[in-house]
Amino acid sequence: MPISPDQQAEIDDLRAQPKPTLRAVSEGMETHLYKAHEVLDHGFIRVIDYMGDDAAICQAARVSYGKGTKSVQNDEGLIRYLMRHWHSTPFEMCEIKLHVKLPVFVARQWIRHRTANVNEYSARYSILDREFYIPEAGNLAAQSVINNQGRGEALSGEEAARVLEYLKGDAARCYDHYAEMIDQEGQQGLARELARMNLPANIYTQWYWKVDLHNLFHFLRLRADAHAQYEIRVYADAICKVVADWVPAAYGAFEDYRMGGANLSGKAIDCVRRMLKGEKVTQETSGMSKGEWREFEGIIG
């Protein structure tokens, strides 16, 4: 199960003891505070704490740009301006701290985003739970023939069944040996920091992850994208839903300008201008490589 009985009891106790505060409060985020949102078969995300809201972004920006800003732009318009022009520091005024339970191989992708504070469950000190990520059959796919870091067609029938049995059997066998090495029938077993090296990459770990909104948006732009690996994308999708309730104006601007927008090179903009004038532009006359042209066609349809 994603949440242990002890964790659920802690959550229930915290939610039952609301505290008054003078700091800025996001009503949308308050509904998520401490609540676990299940991801994959045993994972979850839950908000531990947060700082700031849409108003905090505007407050910081107006300190930077002077009092005149407030009289000419409302908060949502200001936030859209900041997002549109790639301003970053006002969004750094908001922070979120998440408790995340995730497979180790997903954690190794996630930790590549180095602009956050992380504290992970220690397998040197504690014993990892017997929980592994086993994909649903529909998420088992062959290696892509055009993308070295992507998936191709889904496996089916006997091939999918064989792979699932490998995943389940290997994970169970590794954990059995891990547990056996630690506990030698009452005698002092192998050190936990050594025994853990035998565990598979699909075992679950947990961490606290704290990040500011600017860097969180960068994480979500990459990991909630359709091209991201499914197993990290579902975590990003769950976080997106939380952020949309926390800072709705900022998230709306993020969806519009980052997730729904596109960046064009100077050559691509030149091609668009030529096309608008009625010129027929091809890859050969565009000045772009085949890969760039293919991406450009994908953007303009």
Is residue 157 within 8 A of residue 150, CB to CB? The reply is: no
Q: Is 223 annotated as a binding residue?
A: yes
Distance CA 218, CA 11 (A): 29
Q: Is 121 annotated as a binding residue?
A: yes
Q: Is 89 annotated as a binding residue?
A: yes
Q: Is 110 annotated as a binding residue?
A: yes
Q: Is 146 annotated as a binding residue?
A: no
Check 23, 62, 108, 223 and give the catalytic one.
223
What are the backbone angles phi and psi of residue 133, rounded to the nearest 5°?
A: -80, 120
Q: Is 294 annotated as a binding residue?
A: no
What are the backbone angles phi and psi of residue 218, rounded to the nearest 5°?
A: -65, -45
Q: Is 36 annotated as a binding residue?
A: no
Q: Is 214 annotated as a binding residue?
A: yes
Is 223 labeled as catalytic in the residue annotation? yes
Distance CA 138, CA 154 (A): 7
Q: Is 246 annotated as a binding residue?
A: no
**Cβ-defined contacts of 167-175 (< 8 Å, 24+):** 167/132, 167/134, 167/135, 167/202, 168/132, 168/134, 170/200, 171/132, 171/134, 171/200, 171/202, 171/203, 174/198, 174/199, 174/200, 175/130, 175/132, 175/199, 175/200, 175/203
Q: Is 205 annotated as a binding residue?
A: no
Task: Give the residue numbers of the binding site.
Answer: 89, 109-114, 120-124, 196, 212-214, 218, 223
**Which parts are annotated binding residues for FAD?**
89, 112-114, 120, 212-214, 218
Q: Specify binding-site residues for dUMP.
A: 109-112, 120-124, 196, 223
- Residues forming the active site: 223
